[in-house]
Amino acid sequence: MFSLVVCTVDRFDRLERLFQSLRAQTCRDFEVVLVDQNPDDRLVPVIENYRSSFPINHLRSPKGLSLARNRGLAVSGGAYVGFPDDDCWYRPETLADVASKFRRHGELCVVTGRTVDASDKPSLSPSGNLEVDVDRKNYLSCGNSNSIFVTRQLLDVIGGFDERLGVGAVTPFQSGEEADLLLRAVAAGKSARYFPDVVVHHDQVDDVVTSSHATRAAKYGRGFGALMRKHRFDQAYVFYRILRPFLSALVALLRGDAMTAKYKWAWLKGIAIGYWTWDSVSSRLPFSTTDVARPSSGHPIELA
């Protein structure tokens, strides 16, 4: 029923926590497609320890999150596909809950849920408490990649992840790949819905702002700017998204918090650069180098 595409690099202790949660699933009809981006065999003992608990397809991939996910999609066999992070974990009923949503709502192509920490406090990004359809207005608050589940039929229509977006991409656009997947589903007229009772766990991200956070914000900002350009958001929306970090940077400066101001300014600059450079960069690179789906139209649906 499920293929869980897990991309991992530089970890094995957190990965074991994910595998422990998978071993406890009440829904047992799933496979793990483990896309290993490590240069060594550090994961082999973990894999062997859990191979008797559930099927594990272990494959290698160069670095690049969207690339690795597409490599995993290309060999996955499940009717539904999820993308758990290597440092997240599921509740025992998570997969059963998702399967129930898809069965009860036959038109659904995407189910998304909440990401919370061990104390059930929102982690990674805020999300709502109401069940809603995903659209171009609320897509940012309707699930992180680890709480997004899609049908294989959807991937046959829209393709997999845009390898020009996301951490480790060959472009400067180091985020936005999961939001892009949701927006392409919406653009294709497919039904996507957010369910707050579908829960995936992830630890809180360190909220102490440092210089490394500012560097990362510039990369992630370029990805978000590129996303807005790719999906042709109107100028009012783009202006709003640039105005927010500008005002936040200004407030931080007035408070004497130079590091937060630097972080917000890096995010703002990144958005602007990503927005204005997307067309020229994307036109020179393919959407994907991996054949993850064979849509009837011959090409995945893309707004480029």
The domain boundary residue, chosen from 167, 185, 202: 202
Two structure tokens written together for 280: 């020229």
Is 267 found in the same domain as 196? no
Interval 196-239: pLDDT, tens? 999 999 998 876 778 888 999 999 999 999 999 999 999 999 99
Is 156 found in the same domain as 64? yes
Is 119 found in the same domain as 53? yes
Is 247 found in the same domain as 186? no
Quote the radius of gyration of the chain (alpha carbons, Å).
Answer: 19
Q: What is the CATH number of the domain that holds 62?
A: 3.90.550.10
Give the domain range for residue 47. Answer: 2-202
Whether residue 289 lies inside any domain: the answer is no
Strands 30-36 and 191-202, bridge-based pairing: unpaired
- Res. 302: pLDDT tops 70: no
The domain boundary residue, chosen from 163, 182, 202: 202
Is 40 found in the same domain as 164? yes
How far, CA to CA in Å, does 109 sit from each of 84, 168, 186, 229, 291?
18, 27, 10, 25, 20
Q: State the pTM of this model.
A: 0.92
* pLDDT range class, residue 23, cuts 50, 70, 90: very high
Whether residue 290 lies inside any domain: the answer is no
Looking at residue 304, what is its pLDDT? 53
With CA atoms as reference, report the closest residue to 202 among 109, 142, 119, 275: 119
Is 95 found in the same domain as 48? yes
Whether residue 293 lies inside any domain: the answer is no
DSSP state for residue 99 in the 8-state scheme: H
Is 176 found in the same domain as 229? no
Interval 131-158: pLDDT, tens? 999 999 999 999 899 999 999 999 999 9
- Res. 296: pLDDT tops 50: no
The domain boundary residue, chosen from 161, 180, 202: 202
Is 197 found in the same domain as 261? no
Strands 108-116 and 56-60, bridge-based pairing: unpaired
Is 222 found in the same domain as 190? no
Q: Concatenated DSSP letters for 128-157?
A: -SS-EE--TTTGGGS--GGGEEEEHHHHHH
Q: How many domains does the chain have?
A: 2
Whether residue 301 lies inside any domain: the answer is no
